[in-house]
Chains A and B, each alone.
Chain A
Amino acid sequence: MTGIANVWELATRNMRQSGIAVAFVAIVALFSVLNSNFLSPGNITNIVLQYSYILILAIGMVLVIIGGHIDLSVGSLVALTGAVAAVVVIKGGQPWWVGVLAAIGVGLLAGAWQGFWVAYVGIPAFIVTLAGMLLFRGLTWVVLDSISLSPFGGTYYQIANGFQNGLLGGMGFDVFTLVIFAIAVVGYAVMQWRSRMAKLRYQQVVESLPLFVVKIVIVAAIVMWFAWQLAHSRGLPNVLILLAILIIGYSVIAQRSVFGRHIYAIGGNLHAAQLSGVKVKTVNFWVMANMGFLSAVAGIVYSSRMNGAQPGAGNMFELDAIAACFIGGAAVTGGVGRVTGAMIGGLIMAVMSNGMQLMGVDQSVQQVVKGLVLLLAVAFDVYNKKRAGVAR
């Protein structure tokens, strides 16, 4: 089995993943041609800030979907956790971190509540989280007394609106941002190299050395260009750091941990997973509880960005998060999907919304376009599976 894979093999080995990446690049290219401001440093920073909470939700959602479930309650839970933080910090006058801990506590509790019904009582997640959607929205009103609370100000406000910059000075741009990204790129290259060496030790197929180098250089160039743009705007957003940690952490959990494998196994064939010794109830419980945790993180980011909590916050977020997963290649029936795919799916939605907003496209048209993109992405999936002869 040892050998060198060529470009074509690499591209076709994972049609769905490469297809979605190509679509993403094409959409970015399209908008940058249509609107010269699209790739400006300010706008790129904006996209990151504006859609970060959807991406955070999509990380948890993709695990839920891989496990064969769905979570409709995340929008309401974003509102509830934000409201709890607002009550603690604004009304109660507690320091920012107490608000953060309270929100995460509530998120975990809500997730555990739903996990209990899904895993141990055996009620389909669709029903449990539909109930949760109403339940948490109602509780948000109770917690907020049906009025908005603002402003947070101070450190809590900085979570979603702050930047790491000026730490190393700069000449019209932020050196610190560039240094952080450079370290990340070097880290990426080293990891890739070590993985390549390990694969060779196990006599697996790898790409040829020149191709490997080209791949690393291209990735490095894109990432450093992105860093350059950020550095020319306001520096490195706090949210981006948080997002990077979550994406890397959860990707590794999904792909390399026993827990992650068990989620895929349950979504792929519940009965086979059970008979293979997977503790189905425990895994389902933690998948739902984790979604509650990430909803709280998204709730904190969102309330911080809005600098307050509103009873109607987070409305329809669940649908954006679910759409991101399906555009990113997750299967409706479970067992298939990736965190990185969901991130690209979320970014496609983000880039399209932002691009259309810049061009002054009407809100109604934006909705129509997003709906069509979701439909086409899944249709592309179904078509591919039929061609591969997997669909039955």
Chain B
Amino acid sequence: MSEPILEMRNITKAFPGVKALQDVDLSVQPGEIHAICGENGAGKSTLMKVLSGVYPHGSYAGEIVFDGRPMSFGSINDSEAEGIVIIHQELALIPHLSVAENIFLGNERRGTGRFIDWNRANAEAAGLLAQVGLQENPVTPINQLGVGKQQLIEIAKALSKDVRLLILDEPTAALNDNDSEHLLGLIRELQGRGITSILISHKLGEIADIADRTTIIRDGQTIETIDMSDPTSTQDRIIRGMVGRDLSHRFPERTPQIGDEVLRVEDWTVYHPTQVGRVMVDSVNVNVRAGEVVGIAGLMGAGRTEFAMSLFGRTYGREITGRVLMHGREVSTATVSDAIRAGIAYATEDRKYYGLNLIEDIRRNISAAGLRQLSSRGWVNGNEELRVAEEYRASLNIKAPNVLTPVGQLSGGNQQKVVLSKWIYTDPEVLILDEPTRGIDVGAKYEIYTIVNRMVADGKAVLIISSELPELLGVCDRIYTLASGRITGELTAAEATQEDLMHLMTTEKELVS
């Protein structure tokens, strides 16, 4: 093996009350794709922040050697000057600025004096876009591009800085399968050009595909670094390392006991809120029975979230038509309160934006949708509220010092459990879960599936929207496929395969368009 391009030795980083990293070692070879795996809260992001200088030298213990020289970064600018560029999970692009302006933000292409040479900037941007396989006009505003393309523009931005070590924090979390594939291909291409990459991801399949080596971090400590070409480096082995236990089954067992129909949606059609005449959901018919877990599989843009949100208090779209029946009787879901009263609950895919009040504590987030049960004549019973919160904290295993902890301080998995608590407390007949395990770790996923199983065992119905096909196949009894706003298929989980589903999720799309 050659000299490593990057070595981090004995990195220890403490926050008040917590030790986030303890004696972490990481060694990256030049030109390799190095994956980092670990549960949420394991310390991956903290380690990358130490590396990129977000946490300046002196705020941590240990040493960083890059290219054979010891480094002491005081800020992100210092690490970028060495060619270490980090692309965060939440994209750092300014929506109303153009592609070129975003690429050269903070690194503007100067002409004479202090003024920007726009011709040069746009021309160079076009070159960088070609390198990442995009054919966009550099003057297009960023917000007119999809998330997948935005991710590629982040990489173009990194290339503009003469990147040598590219760090990608969950780059594919928000991407559909096509875009993910394209992105991973690009990372491989960059590898061919000698650029080293560190990839943080929860998607183990992706890691198995692309990584040369994988370092597993658990509870702020390095567990091991494994060579992916070794035949024993299976996904199961990585999972074992991440959770410290054997997850022989990634999905908890359940014997379905399916009862009568609870929810039926007929001819549900929704138009785009601003673009006149654009149909987002097209005559959708679905039903869910008591004790049944039903999945909706669809690629991004297929209308999955649009369907769910238009159903739930018409919080999306306009000119909504169709019928909603609960236990065979038509109900109104015109407002969120109506929908809740009808027995429907909807846990959003974007928990930080739509799901939680991050500055508020666990207790008040859990009670937010169920204050009706906690109050009489408009007055809230604060003690009962606290009891309920404690009850859910215990039963859903929300890891926090107490229920007065602000939810903004929790990890993704625990935040998701707070969202679930909030909706389970409204005592719904049907629980709609939109991407319930996005961005959360393997252990927490298992817990979420267990909660779903508990719900249906109580005779509730659950509708899961997901783009992770193994997840749908693992938890659901029945799966609908959605493409371009239309239901294109209905399969029982027992007979369906990932290939079948993907086929139904894509073929119809081409037919329609």
Asked if A335 is at the interface of the complex by the 8 Å CB criterion, the answer is: yes
Q: Is the CB of B340 within 8 A of A277?
A: yes
Q: Is the CB of A258 within 8 A of B357?
A: no
Residues of chain A within 8 A (CB-CB) of B356 are 269, 272
Asked if B15 is at the interface of the complex by the 8 Å CB criterion, the answer is: yes
Asked if B16 is at the interface of the complex by the 8 Å CB criterion, the answer is: yes
Residues of chain A within 8 A (CB-CB) of B402 are 1
CB proximity of A122 to chain B, nearest CB, Å: 14
Q: Which of B358, B367, B402 has the most CB of A within 10 A?
A: B358
Contact flag A274-B408 (CB < 8 Å), given A1-B390, A256-B382, A264-B360:
no
Residues of chain A within 8 A (CB-CB) of B378 are 257-259
Residues of chain B within 8 A (CB-CB) of A276 are 336, 368-369, 422
C-alpha gap A335/B408 in the complex (Å):
13
Residues of chain B within 8 A (CB-CB) of A1 are 390, 402
Q: Contact check: which of B336, B359, B409 meets A275 at CB < 8 Å?
A: B336
Asked if A202 is at the interface of the complex by the 8 Å CB criterion, the answer is: yes
Q: Is the CB of A204 within 8 A of B383?
A: yes
Q: Is the CB of B379 within 8 A of A258?
A: yes
Asked if A64 is at the interface of the complex by the 8 Å CB criterion, the answer is: no
CB proximity of B483 to chain A, nearest CB, Å: 26
C-alpha gap A202/B340 in the complex (Å):
28
Asked if A172 is at the interface of the complex by the 8 Å CB criterion, the answer is: no
Asked if B41 is at the interface of the complex by the 8 Å CB criterion, the answer is: no
Q: Is the CB of A335 within 8 A of B359?
A: yes
Q: Is the CB of B360 within 8 A of A258?
A: no
Asked if A198 is at the interface of the complex by the 8 Å CB criterion, the answer is: yes
* Nearest A residue (CB) for B346: A275
* Nearest A residue (CB) for B309: A275
Residues of chain B within 8 A (CB-CB) of A392 are 408
Contact flag A274-B355 (CB < 8 Å), given A204-B386, A261-B364, A264-B364:
no
Main secondary structure of the interface of A (DSSP, over half): helix
C-alpha gap A265/B15 in the complex (Å):
29
**Contact code string A361-392 (vs B, CB < 8 Å = 1, else 0):** 00000000000000000000000000101101
Asked if A279 is at the interface of the complex by the 8 Å CB criterion, the answer is: yes
Q: Contact check: which of B360, B375, B383 meets A335 at CB < 8 Å?
A: B360
Q: Is the CB of A268 within 8 A of B357?
A: yes
Asked if B312 is at the interface of the complex by the 8 Å CB criterion, the answer is: yes
Q: Is the CB of B357 within 8 A of A274?
A: no
Asked if B380 is at the interface of the complex by the 8 Å CB criterion, the answer is: yes
Residues of chain B within 8 A (CB-CB) of A265 are 357, 360, 364, 368
Asked if B115 is at the interface of the complex by the 8 Å CB criterion, the answer is: no
Q: Is the CB of A277 within 8 A of B383?
A: no
CB proximity of B231 to chain A, nearest CB, Å: 43
Q: Is the CB of A274 within 8 A of B380?
A: no
Contact flag A268-B358 (CB < 8 Å), given A275-B312, A389-B409:
yes
Contact flag A201-B383 (CB < 8 Å), given A257-B378, A275-B336:
yes
Asked if A336 is at the interface of the complex by the 8 Å CB criterion, the answer is: yes
Q: Is the CB of B15 within 8 A of A389?
A: yes
Q: Is the CB of B408 within 8 A of A390?
A: yes
**Contact code string B387-408 (vs A, CB < 8 Å = 1, else 0):** 1001000000000001000101
Asked if B313 is at the interface of the complex by the 8 Å CB criterion, the answer is: yes
Asked if A271 is at the interface of the complex by the 8 Å CB criterion, the answer is: yes
* Nearest B residue (CB) for A336: B359
Q: Which of A201, A276, A387 has the most CB of B within 10 A?
A: A276
Inter-chain contact count A-B, CB under 8 Å?
Answer: 96
C-alpha gap A262/B406 in the complex (Å):
17
C-alpha gap A387/B409 in the complex (Å):
12
**Contact code string A176-206 (vs B, CB < 8 Å = 1, else 0):** 0000000000000000000000110110100
Asked if B371 is at the interface of the complex by the 8 Å CB criterion, the answer is: yes
Asked if A319 is at the interface of the complex by the 8 Å CB criterion, the answer is: no
CB proximity of B268 to chain A, nearest CB, Å: 19
Asked if B315 is at the interface of the complex by the 8 Å CB criterion, the answer is: yes
CB proximity of B330 to chain A, nearest CB, Å: 20
Q: Which of A256, A257, A277 has the most CB of B within 10 A?
A: A277
CB proximity of A274 to chain B, nearest CB, Å: 7
Which residues A245-283 have CB closer than 8 A to chain B?
255-259, 261-262, 264-265, 268-269, 271-279
Q: Is the CB of B379 within 8 A of A257?
A: yes
Asked if B497 is at the interface of the complex by the 8 Å CB criterion, the answer is: no
Asked if B201 is at the interface of the complex by the 8 Å CB criterion, the answer is: no
Residues of chain A within 8 A (CB-CB) of B353 are 269, 271-272
Asked if B348 is at the interface of the complex by the 8 Å CB criterion, the answer is: yes
C-alpha gap A389/B353 in the complex (Å):
19
C-alpha gap A264/B346 in the complex (Å):
21
C-alpha gap A330/B502 in the complex (Å):
50
Residues of chain A within 8 A (CB-CB) of B492 are none
C-alpha gap A273/B313 in the complex (Å):
13
Residues of chain A within 8 A (CB-CB) of B386 are 202, 204
Q: Which of B353, B371, B372 has the most CB of A within 10 A?
A: B371
Residues of chain A within 8 A (CB-CB) of B368 are 261, 265, 272-273, 276, 278
Q: Is the CB of A277 within 8 A of B336?
A: yes
Q: Is the CB of B380 within 8 A of A261?
A: yes
CB proximity of A14 to chain B, nearest CB, Å: 10
Contact flag A274-B315 (CB < 8 Å), given A202-B383, A257-B379, A258-B379:
yes
Which residues B326-385 have CB closer than 8 A to chain A?
335-337, 339-340, 346, 348, 353-360, 364, 367-369, 371-372, 375, 378-380, 382-384
Q: Is the CB of A335 within 8 A of B357?
A: yes
C-alpha gap A262/B369 in the complex (Å):
10
Q: Is the CB of B336 within 8 A of A274?
A: yes
Residues of chain A within 8 A (CB-CB) of B406 are 390
Q: Contact check: which of A204, A257, A269, A279 meets B358 at CB < 8 Å?
A: A269
Residues of chain A within 8 A (CB-CB) of B337 are 277, 279
Contact flag A261-B387 (CB < 8 Å), given A272-B357, A275-B315, A279-B337:
no
* Nearest A residue (CB) for B369: A276
CB proximity of B60 to chain A, nearest CB, Å: 16
Q: Is the CB of B360 within 8 A of A199?
A: no
Q: Which of B335, B337, B360, B386 has the most CB of A within 10 A?
A: B360
C-alpha gap A278/B364 in the complex (Å):
14
CB proximity of B16 to chain A, nearest CB, Å: 7
C-alpha gap A120/B74 in the complex (Å):
49
C-alpha gap A264/B364 in the complex (Å):
10
CB proximity of A286 to chain B, nearest CB, Å: 12
C-alpha gap A1/B358 in the complex (Å):
23
C-alpha gap A271/B350 in the complex (Å):
10
Residues of chain B within 8 A (CB-CB) of A268 are 357-360
Residues of chain A within 8 A (CB-CB) of B380 are 256-258, 261
CB proximity of A280 to chain B, nearest CB, Å: 10
C-alpha gap A82/B382 in the complex (Å):
39
Residues of chain A within 8 A (CB-CB) of B408 are 390, 392
C-alpha gap A216/B15 in the complex (Å):
37
C-alpha gap A275/B337 in the complex (Å):
9
Residues of chain A within 8 A (CB-CB) of B372 are 258
* Nearest B residue (CB) for A266: B357
C-alpha gap A277/B373 in the complex (Å):
13
CB proximity of A66 to chain B, nearest CB, Å: 11
Known: A204-B386, A277-B339. 7 other contacts (CB 8 A): A261-B364, A262-B371, A269-B357, A276-B422, A277-B337, A336-B359, A390-B359
Q: List 11 A-B contacts (CB under 8 A).
A: A1-B402, A202-B386, A264-B364, A265-B364, A272-B355, A273-B357, A275-B346, A277-B313, A279-B337, A335-B357, A390-B409
Give 10 nearest A-B pairs by CB, closest first: A268-B357, A276-B369, A277-B336, A269-B357, A202-B383, A277-B337, A276-B368, A271-B354, A277-B340, A258-B371
Binding site for B on A (CB under 8 A): 1, 198-199, 201-202, 204, 255-259, 261-262, 264-265, 268-269, 271-279, 331, 335-336, 387, 389-390, 392
Binding site for A on B (CB under 8 A): 15-16, 312-313, 315, 335-337, 339-340, 346, 348, 353-360, 364, 367-369, 371-372, 375, 378-380, 382-384, 386-387, 390, 402, 406, 408-409, 422
